Amino acid sequence: MLLKLLILSLVTTSALAQTSIIICSQAFVDDICTCNFLIFNPNGFNNLTVVGNPITNCTFEDTKQAIAMGSSPNIPSAICSHLPNLEKLVMENVGIINLNGMPFRNCGNLKTLQLGNNEIVAIPAHVFSFTALELIELNNNNLTTFDEHAFDNLFRLTTLNINENSNGIILPETVFHHLISLQSLLVSNCGITSFNSSWFASLRSLILLDLSRNNFSTIPENTFRSQQSLRLLNLSFGQLETIPETTFQNITNLLILDLQSNKIKEFHPNLFSSLTLLQNLHLSDNLNVTTPSNIFRSLQSLRTLELSSNNVTVIDGWFSSLSNLININLSNNNIITIPDNTFTAARALQRINLSRNKIGILDSRSFGSLHMMTELDVHNNLIDEVDHSLVSQSSILRIVNFSNNNCTQLRTDSFNESRSVHMDAMKACFDKFDLKPIELQTFNSTVYNWYSIRTNDGWDALHISVKAYENVHIALSNSTNTTEPPIEIIIGQNRGRVSSILDQGVAVFSDNNERRLDETAFRDFIIGWRFGIVMVFEAGEQMPFMGYNMQNRYSVDFFGLRTIISLSDHKAEWKASRLQMSSTKSLDDVYADIKNKLNKNIPIDLNLYLR
Ligand SMILES: *[C@@H]1O[C@H](CO)[C@@H](O)[C@H](O)[C@H]1NC(C)=O
Ligand SMILES: *[C@@H]1O[C@H](CO)[C@@H](O)[C@H](O)[C@H]1NC(C)=O
Ligand SMILES: *[C@@H]1O[C@H](CO)[C@@H](O)[C@H](O)[C@H]1NC(C)=O
Ligand SMILES: *[C@@H]1O[C@H](CO)[C@@H](O)[C@H](O)[C@H]1NC(C)=O
Ligand SMILES: *[C@@H]1O[C@H](CO)[C@@H](O)[C@H](O)[C@H]1NC(C)=O
Ligand SMILES: *[C@@H]1O[C@H](CO)[C@@H](O)[C@H](O)[C@H]1NC(C)=O
Ligand SMILES: *[C@@H]1O[C@H](CO)[C@@H](O)[C@H](O)[C@H]1NC(C)=O
Ligand SMILES: *[C@@H]1O[C@H](CO)[C@@H](O)[C@H](O)[C@H]1NC(C)=O
Ligand SMILES: *[C@@H]1O[C@H](CO)[C@@H](O)[C@H](O)[C@H]1NC(C)=O
Ligand SMILES: *[C@@H]1O[C@H](CO)[C@@H](O)[C@H](O)[C@H]1NC(C)=O
Ligand SMILES: *[C@@H]1O[C@H](CO)[C@@H](O)[C@H](O)[C@H]1NC(C)=O
Ligand SMILES: *[C@@H]1O[C@H](CO)[C@@H](O)[C@H](O)[C@H]1NC(C)=O
């Protein structure tokens, strides 16, 4: 404290005397001999008096770092001639305007130079050339002019920060050509209006390049030809309108690419095709993006995709390669429908933001597995129907936002903590979804088309209308990814096949009556599975023609529809409706009787019920 007062009074008297001076107060800071100095140099002299309070093992000779307060329009060469072993010099916010007079000529060991928040206008030739600089900060200055030899001989430089020189810097073609060790180049908000494709040609070690908040509208071909090491490229908040097809071709190790808030209208289909390691792609807030559907096809490593505010309307097929996607943001676009299987590849999705679109229906068939989902934000849509399986699949779902929608306004940060209360709040959405008949066509395949059903809420039957020549298959399962569903029901009778019920692929009931399907007219069936007993009715008949007691070994959360593999093309046309068996009065009698027997522990003989 005493020392500070002394220094202050010295400075005041010096100011009065118009004497330029540097007063250095030496001390160990983190075991480093440090000179915190006051500089007063209104006339920009180079050769001024330096006084100090050297202690035994922290003399001028020993000083490794120096940190300035005060003001000076230049960096007096006296600093380096008095402190020749400096490794770090910090002169921020002291009003430096120029770097004339080779101020660092005697600082051969200088590694770190922090000159941010000054008013430096130009970088002269060779000004840093005789140092060992590894880091230079020139952010928030008034830089416009760089001599083409400004950074010559800085073979060890790893970080160069010239952010926020917003008057507009002019970079000579070869200005960075000696910076072979440079890892971070920060040139944000520097008013760059055009590019020279040679600027980065020698920067083979570059890991981070920040060119955000500039004014260029395109990037010349081959600009990033040498940037194989680059991991992070920031081109955000600029005026980019077009990006040539090959721009990112050689940046094969890129992990993060930020292009948000530009004026890009179109992305070339091959623009991202080399970026197989990319994890984070930010494209939000561009203009009215019309994107070819296969543009993301190579991005197998992508974890986060930001696509908000792009006036996106159609997303069919966009995400079919993104098997590592965890976060998707499509907020504030014009999406109306999310086609089936849009996100099927993304089996580990955690955060989904579809807010501020025009979506009316949320169907789990648009997604793959949602077991990892923790956040679902769909606020401000027109949602009137929700597949319950979308929100019930994940036991770790926490954040749910349905505010400003039609069938629910649910908004919570703790969905999984009171799941049944929140599911009740969405019941109107589920009911509207479940009451709507499913219409589809299936072709010969071993793969089922899966749909959810709320058995636990009493939805324990299906009404199936089907037009087909060959047999059709209906599966009951607790998951959509079983290759062999627990229960399969085959209906139809052609070419010696029979209608039957299979338990894990083994026929447990066969119907030998003629019950052929018709390819020109719908036939109607009801399949129920109350009390663990599967029964298959032909519509209009009081008794089932097939039945099987699965004895509550299987729970039914999904049903699947498919057409058998056949030598000829085989097609089926379906209308399937979810039902509550208790609402089909006539057929429910059979189950009512079974319920009665179950309550009295009377063994069930299914033959008593079958036609
Ligand atoms: C000023 O610089 C000259 C050489 O240019 C040197 O001889 C002289 O000692 C310096 N004066 C101070 C006060 O450092
Ligand atoms: C400097 O000297 C003091 C007193 O002799 C000693 O305690 C301290 O460890 C020394 N520091 C260094 C970095 O040599
Ligand atoms: C640096 O820029 C600031 C803000 O634009 C301005 O006030 C100041 O006069 C400039 N200084 C020089 C030396 O150009
Ligand atoms: C760059 O763009 C910004 C924002 O549009 C503008 O304010 C600035 O004047 C431009 N600078 C140059 C050098 O064109
Ligand atoms: C790059 O700089 C060279 C040399 O100054 C010049 O000939 C060339 O036109 C520049 N290219 C661009 C795209 O500005
Ligand atoms: C990619 O690198 C090769 C080899 O260095 C070079 O010939 C080619 O021009 C580069 N391509 C682009 C688009 O930068
Ligand atoms: C969004 O796209 C639609 C049609 O694709 C177009 O009518 C509308 O003008 C676009 N909006 C904006 C802000 O570009
Ligand atoms: C947006 O895209 C649509 C369809 O490509 C086009 O018709 C419309 O003119 C675009 N709007 C703007 C503002 O670019
Ligand atoms: C919103 O809900 C109301 C009442 O349930 C219904 O009349 C209307 O058609 C729904 N709007 C949309 C867009 O689904
Ligand atoms: C589905 O049922 C099978 C038995 O068929 C069981 O092994 C499996 O754990 C169940 N899976 C889920 C997700 O409930
Ligand atoms: C299928 O679902 C089970 C859980 O029921 C899961 O353990 C398994 O990984 C899933 N298989 C695939 C291919 O996703
Ligand atoms: C059905 O299967 C047959 C035989 O495998 C095949 O030739 C035919 O193309 C398939 N039809 C459809 C519509 O998939």
Confidence check: pLDDT of 390 > 90: yes
Q: Is 49 in the pocket of ligand 1 (CB under 6 A)?
A: yes
> Among 209-223, 233-247, 425-439, 505-519, whose mean pLDDT is lowest?
505-519
Ligand nearest to the CA of 168: 4
Ligand nearest to the CA of 140: 3
pLDDT of 330: 97
Stretch 553-578: mean pLDDT? 88
Q: Is 167 in the pocket of ligand 4 (CB under 6 A)?
A: no
pLDDT of 290: 66
- Percent over 90 (pLDDT), the chain: 77
Query: Contact at 8 Å (CB) between 387 and 367?
Result: no
Question: Tell me: the pLDDT tens digits for 122-141?
Answer: 999 999 999 999 999 999 99
Q: Is 51 in the pocket of ligand 1 (CB under 6 A)?
A: no
Please identify, by atom number, the ligand 2 atom nearest to the C-alpha of residue 32.
Answer: 13
- Distance from chain centroid for Cα 525: 45
Predicted TM-score of the model (pTM)? 0.88
Q: Whose CA is nearest to atom 3 of ligand 8?
A: 288
pLDDT of 15: 47
Stretch 555-583: mean pLDDT? 88
Query: Contact at 8 Å (CB) between 434 and 461?
Result: no
Confidence check: pLDDT of 347 > 50: yes
Catalogue all structural domains in the chain, each as residue range(s) with its CATH number: 438-608 (2.60.120.200)
Q: Residue 447's CB: how many other CB atoms inside 10 A?
A: 9
Q: Whose CA is nearest to atom 10 of ligand 5?
A: 196
d(C-alpha 467, C-alpha 469), whole Å = 7
* pLDDT bucket at 198, cuts 50 / 70 / 90: very high
Ligand nearest to the CA of 58: 2
- Percent over 70 (pLDDT), the chain: 96
Q: Looking at per-residue confidence, does 6 or 279 come out higher?
A: 279
For residue 31, give every residue at least 6 positions away whose Cβ sits within 8 Å of its Cβ, in sequence order, or none: none
Q: Whose CA is nearest to atom 8 of ligand 10?
A: 478
pLDDT of 606: 86
Question: Tell me: the pLDDT tens digits for 595-609?
Answer: 888 888 888 888 888
Q: Rounded mean pLDDT of the chain? A: 92
Question: Tell me: the pLDDT tens digits for 65-124?
Answer: 999 999 999 999 999 999 999 999 999 999 999 999 999 999 999 999 999 999 999 999
Instruction: Compute, in angstroms, the gap from residue 569 CA to the centroid of ligand 12.
Output: 5
Question: Tell me: the pLDDT tens digits for 325-342?
Answer: 999 999 999 999 999 999
Instruction: Compute, in angstroms, the gap from residue 309 CA to the centroid of ligand 8.
Output: 14
Stretch 231-243: mean pLDDT? 97
Ligand nearest to the CA of 477: 10
Instruction: Compute, in angstroms, the gap from residue 3 CA to the centroid of ligand 1.
Output: 27
Please identify, by atom number, the ligand 12 atom nearest to the C-alpha of residue 444.
Answer: 1
Q: Whose CA is nearest to atom 14 of ligand 9?
A: 384
* pLDDT bucket at 289, cuts 50 / 70 / 90: low
Stretch 233-245: mean pLDDT? 96
Instruction: Compute, in angstroms, the gap from residue 136 CA to the centroid of ligand 1.
Output: 28
pLDDT of 288: 66
Q: Whose CA is nearest to atom 7 of ligand 2?
A: 57
Pocket probe mutation, ligand 9, options 357, 358, 384, 405, max atoms within 8 Å of Cβ? 384
* pLDDT bucket at 36, cuts 50 / 70 / 90: very high
279, exposed or middle or buried, with CB in 10 Å at 0-12, 13-18, 19+? middle
Please identify, by atom number, the ligand 8 atom nearest to the C-alpha of residue 265.
Answer: 14
Taking CA 181 as the corner, what is the angle to CA 249 and CA 173, rounded to the nearest 5 degrees?
Answer: 65
d(C-alpha 30, C-alpha 337), whole Å = 60
Q: Residue 5's CB: how many other CB atoms inside 10 A?
A: 9
Stretch 202-219: mean pLDDT? 97
Please identify, by atom number, the ligand 10 atom nearest to the C-alpha of residue 554.
Answer: 5
Residue 608, SS3 per DSSP: helix
Instruction: Compute, in angstroms, the gap from residue 451 CA to the centroid of ligand 12.
Output: 24
pLDDT of 590: 85
d(C-alpha 143, C-alpha 166), whole Å = 8
Pocket probe mutation, ligand 3, options 96, 119, 123, 139, max atoms within 8 Å of Cβ? 119
Q: Is 57 in the pocket of ligand 2 (CB under 6 A)?
A: yes
pLDDT of 17: 46
